[in-house]
Structure 1
């Protein structure tokens, strides 16, 4: 029988959860979203991955678990206190570069290689600088966004922003997309041209 609640968590997960509680970090990635991230990153050997919104590193843990030894992962966030948890957990992982920066600025000025997977788990890359972010996805690469179902921590006016985002993304002809009324509400895109 299928049971999507039985999920094996990645290395460092318990350590990151404990540190997140101590810091009162209240925006952890959902287990189901994490499991999907692990699967998507595993599908791209020697992949180049971007995690927008490091937080304390939970989504990064899932991406790192799926990525093979020749992959490269960049994780960006503006909050250095929360991000320090991830920096400590992954200090020995040479595949990972953790960047403390304003996501909008970083995405606007980034001029490196395109990505096989971008997980946009923050305002930058999802609600802000969207076109620039989508241009960074390789053909055949994935763009994943979460938190599209109502969340208790949504600020006033956020449901309307989500609706505008969904309508904007549905207009894209350079991506195919699947909407998942699952986990926290996901949309998964694959670039086709």
Structure 2
């Protein structure tokens, strides 16, 4: 077995990847992580999905590719330039709602919503407002984060934040979690 991708890549992926590179955005999830996001999405038929940190929509494309036609995805980002790339390539998908908003504002304005699947790929929902976002997760729902192994673009002091984040997740009695030393370092938690 190898990490080589031997599965169908979403149609929009290559155009989004090209636009991402042209924009100079370097914080997208890698293909291995995205393949896992797609797989986990397929396990939640008629699911309600949340992505915090759309970026240019690379991971969004994979999540959509795993979702069935009765599922919905809300994806939030605070960078309008990046979100425009996602809108251009994914905006015609009726299952997707792309929202331009500060993560903190969006979370605080939507605390009553519940999700079957949350991919937290930004500070809000990962290092900030973690408990609030985890409270939005339904019983049996997935909470997924990547970039948990040291990354070249981590600012000074980020390693300590990552360690504290993991310890906080491990202390929560309402989560079962696994840590994968694979791709960029992934944690998957399930709400009990």
Q: TM-score, normalised by structure 2?
A: 0.97
Aligned to 1:138: 138
CA distance, structure 2, for counterparts of residue 92 and residue 98 of structure 1? 11
Deviation per CA, 1:4-47, whole angstroms, max 9, x where unpaired?
22243212000000000111111111111101100111000011
Answer yes or no: is the 8 Å Cα contact 1:7–1:35 preserved in 2: no
Aligned to 2:34: 34
CA distance, structure 1, for counterparts of residue 52 and residue 111 of structure 2? 16
Map 1:12-161 → 2, pairs under 5 A: 12-161=12-161
Aligned to 2:4: 5
Deviation per CA, 1:36-61, whole angstroms, max 9, x where unpaired?
10011100001100011000001101
Structure 1 outlier segments of 4+, above 4 Å: none
Where does the alignment leave 5 or more consecutive residues of structure 1 unmatched?
none
CA distance, structure 2, for counterparts of residue 6 and residue 97 of structure 1? 28
CA distance, structure 2, for counterparts of residue 13 and residue 7 of structure 1? 15
What is the total number of aligned residue pairs between the two structures? 191
CA distance, structure 2, for counterparts of residue 19 and residue 154 of structure 1? 23
CA distance, structure 2, for counterparts of residue 154 and residue 10 of structure 1? 28
Answer yes or no: is the 8 Å Cα contact 1:177–1:188 preserved in 2: yes
SS at match of 1:33: helix
CA distance, structure 2, for counterparts of residue 170 and residue 112 of structure 1? 24
CA distance, structure 2, for counterparts of residue 7 and residue 73 of structure 1? 25
CA distance, structure 1, for counterparts of residue 20 and residue 117 of structure 2? 25
Q: TM-score, normalised by structure 1?
A: 0.96
CA distance, structure 1, for counterparts of residue 71 and residue 113 of structure 2? 13
SS at match of 2:132: helix
